[in-house]
Every structure is written in structure tokens, then in C-alpha cells.
Amino acid sequence: MAEGQNHPIGIYLWVWGALFVVSALSYWVDWYGFQGALRWSLILIFMFIKAGAIVWVFMHMKWERLSLFSAIMIPTVFIAVFIFIMALEADYTEIVRLTFFSDWQNFFTVEHHGTH
Amino acid sequence: MNTVTETAGLDGNDMEPGVTAGAKGIVADWSSDQVAFRKAPWGKAMMWIFLLSDTFIFSIFLIGYMTARMSTKVPWPNPSEVFALTVFGTSVPLLLIAIMTFILITSSGTMAMAVKFGYEQNKKVCFRLIVLTAILGASFVGMQVFEWSKLILDEGVRPWYNPFGAPQFGAVFFMVTGFHGTHVTIGVIFLFIIANKVRKGEFDRGDAGFMTGRPGRYEMVETIGLYWHFVDLVWVFIFALFYLW
């Protein structure tokens, strides 16, 4: 089976074990109660390690040709662009809500906003 | 140029004459009279492209969740407390979610090995591993049913309301986990179909499929395996971004 993706069982078992450990670590982040930037960076690091291991070994991306790898992986970059755009949009929405809806009876009486 | 260049994977192993590795290989693969996804069976290439489109769907859900969560005036409910389970009188945060995570990872490992034993034509082990994968997937869905009914019936969570905080929480939760659960359910059904084909030896003989005249091959185990790993992959992101954040 020259065409097939047949690899030593050891690498699967190794990655499997690693996924267990990293999952336990990310659960531990919540258990221990980390907060703030440390919590978020730990969660994201563990998330990308797990995602990378699954795509790289379990989904055999490591052994695919660069053509297939590029066709699948490059378009995902646009997701990052979309996240950035929508984060800006969400910030704007929050400002609008805090400005108008937190005291939202005054939203229709324009002179209240003009006079303070 | 009469030199035979190296080939194939990103790490440049397994040689084959006339096939170029690396960046030059992309040009060669996409040039005229070439097959763009050389060495990948068409079913696998199509599954990858489907998974890419699915990646965009789940990204849109998670980006929508980010946008909702960033812009609420009312604080977002703390998932660590919402999804806690009380075991022997103590409240354990995210207990069920952690168990579900480990079950899905385990099923991904058994699936990866099923692909390996399929290519070795080891029918019996391949069949058992696929069935084990499907059973683990089904138990994942079962736990999700338990989680949903607990939230809907006991806690009164609705897509437009919940007793914990921002009302968007329910809408995001049901949409994201519901879509993922649907993917798992469909995966379990297809795993049983493929397992049955393996058991009957259809891939050994190359029997034609249900809706196609093309002969069955063990590559189909790898293709359904790609789908199953993708389901696990999506859960990695949901677990991190929805439950842990």
C-alpha cells in the first residue's frame, strides 16, 4: 500500500498520550483558578498544541504534499482577519450600548445628551 | 534537468522519480497536465476541502460568540460554575465537560489506529477499533443529551434567557454545541457504515459502494477518519474558547 498513510503505531500512541496530558493541563488551568492574561494565554497555548497535534499526526498533514497542505491551511489565515474585524466591531457595539442603552430613556430625547 | 528530485511529504521523505518536493513541487503539481493533489485519493482531497468549509462554519459561530460576549452590558455567566457537577456533596467544576473531552480524545486515538490497521488489511482489528470509536462517540452524544436536559429542564436555560447572566449565553451554547453534537452523531452513523463494510470484507474485494460504481478501498477508512479527527479538533476549540474562557 504505497499510496496509503501507514505509519508506525508508536507515533499515534505518543500523540494520544500527549493529548491526554495537555487536556489535563488545560482543565487544571480552570481547576487551579488562574485569571487574567495568564489564564487566557495558557488556554490558547494548550488549544493550539492540541489542534496542531491532531492535524499534524492524526490527520496525516505531516506526510501530505505541500500542495494539499497549502490549499487547506492558507485559507484559514482569513479566519484570523475576520476575528480581528469582528473584535473591532464588538468594541464599537459595546461603546454604543454603554453610551445609549445604559440610560436608554434618554436615547430619544436628544437635548439631554446635548446639554450635559 | 535530468536529475531525479526528492518527493512527497512536507518532511521530504518517501522518494518517487519525477516528483518534486517543497515550493517547487507546488508549481509542478498545479502546472498543466498535472494532478493538483498528487498522491491524495480524490475522496480524501474532497473530504479535506469539505472540512475546510466546515472550519469556516464553526469559525463563524465562534466569532459570533466572541462578538456577542465582548459587547454585552450584563456579565457573561461563568461556565466553570454553570457546568459544575455535584459529586458526593462537593461541586466539581466542568466535570462532565472534562470527561467528554477525554472520551473524544480517546476515540480519536482509536480512529487513528483503525486507519493504520486498515491499510495493513487487518480486518478484525480495524473493525473492532472503528466500532470502539463509534461507541465512544455515541457515549459523548449521550453525555451531551444529559448536559442539555440538565440545563433546559433544571436550570431553565433558553436561547433567549438564562438565570446566570447575559441572555446571549443560551443562544451561543445551543447553537455551537448543538452543531458540534450533530457532527458527532453523523460521524457515529458513518463509522458504523464503514465498520460494517470492513467486517464484510468489501474493501478487501473492492466491492462497489451503495451509490457509486467505484470499488471500495481501505482509503475510505482514512477519509472517515479525517472527518472524525475534525470533530475532535472542533471540540478542542469549543472546550478552550467556550468552556474554559
* Burial bucket for residue B56 (CB in 10 Å: 0-12, 13-18, 19+): middle
More confident residue, A69 or B37: A69
Chain A from 80 to 99: CB within 8 A of any B CB: 82-83, 86-87, 89-91, 93-94, 97-98
Which of the four pLDDT bands, split at 50, 70 and 90, describes residue B205? Answer: confident
Q: In this complex, is the C-beta atom of A67 within 8 Å of any C-beta atom belonging to chain B?
A: yes
* pLDDT single digits (tens) B38-95: 778 888 899 999 999 999 999 999 999 999 999 988 889 988 888 888 888 778 888 8
Q: Do A54 and B240 count as a contact with CB atoms less than 8 A apart?
A: no
Give the Cα separation of B240 and B245 in Å (integer).
6
* Distance in Å, alpha carbon of A28 to nearest chain B alpha carbon: 10
Q: Return the pLDDT at A104.
A: 55
Give the Cα separation of B40 and A116 in Å (integer).
68
Same domain, A58 and A77: no
CB-closest option in B8, B10, B70 to A94: B70
Pinpoint the residues of chain B covered by CATH 1.20.120.80.
40-244
DSSP category for residue A98 = I
Work out the number of other CB atoms within 10 angstroms of the CB of residue B195: 22
Does the interface predicted TM-score (ipTM) exceed 0.90? no
- The string of DSSP codes covering A19-38 is HHHHHHHHHHHHHHT--HHH
Same domain, A30 and A82: no
Which residue of B lies nearest to A59 if distances are taken between CA atoms? B226
CB-closest option in A27, A66, A76 to B23: A66
Same domain, A71 and A15: no
The fraction of chain B above a pLDDT of 70, given in percent, is 91
Q: Return the pLDDT at B228.
A: 97
Best of B13, B30, B51, B105 to disrupt the A interface (most A CBs within 10 Å) is B105
Which of the four pLDDT bands, split at 50, 70 and 90, describes residue A114? Answer: very low
Sign of CA dihedral B163, B167, B168, B171: positive
Same domain, A56 and A70: no
More confident residue, B144 or B87: B144
Residue A108 sits in which domain range? 65-116
DSSP category for residue B92 = E
CA distances, A34 to each of A29, B79, B127, B228 (Å)? 6, 14, 43, 32
Among A31, A47, A63, the domain-final residue is A63
Residues B186-213 have a mean pLDDT of: 89
**The most confident of B35-39, B67-71, B203-207, by mean pLDDT:** B67-71
Give the Cα separation of B162 and B168 in Å (integer).
9
Residues from chain B that touch A12, judged by Cβ atoms under 8 A, are 109, 112-113, 116
Q: Do B236 and A93 count as a contact with CB atoms less than 8 A apart?
A: no
Same domain, A70 and A58: no
Same domain, A52 and A95: no
Same domain, A2 and A33: yes
Which residue of B lies nearest to A19 if distances are taken between CA atoms? B105
Residue B179 has pLDDT above 90, yes or no: yes
* pLDDT single digits (tens) A7-60: 888 899 999 999 999 999 999 988 888 888 999 999 999 999 999 999 999 999
Same domain, A51 and A2: yes
Cβ pair B110, B132 in contact under 8 A: yes
Q: What angle do CA A6, A7, A10 make, to 5 degrees?
A: 145
Q: Is A87 helix (H, G, I), strand (E, B) or coil?
A: helix
Q: Do A102 and B73 count as a contact with CB atoms less than 8 A apart?
A: yes
Same domain, A73 and A52: no
Chain A from 32 to 61: CB within 8 A of any B CB: 40, 43-44, 46-47, 50-51, 54-55, 57-61
Q: CATH fold of B40-244, please?
A: Four Helix Bundle (Hemerythrin (Met), subunit A) (1.20.120)
Terminus-to-terminus CA distance in chain A, angstroms?
78
Terminus-to-terminus CA distance in chain B, angstroms?
55
* Burial bucket for residue B172 (CB in 10 Å: 0-12, 13-18, 19+): buried
Partnered with residue B86 across adjacent β-strands are: B91
Tally the domains of chain A: 2
Same domain, A6 and A33: yes
Among A63, A92, A107, the domain-final residue is A63
Same domain, A15 and A45: yes
- Residue spans of alpha helices (H) in B200-218: 202-205
Q: Return the pLDDT at B1.
A: 42
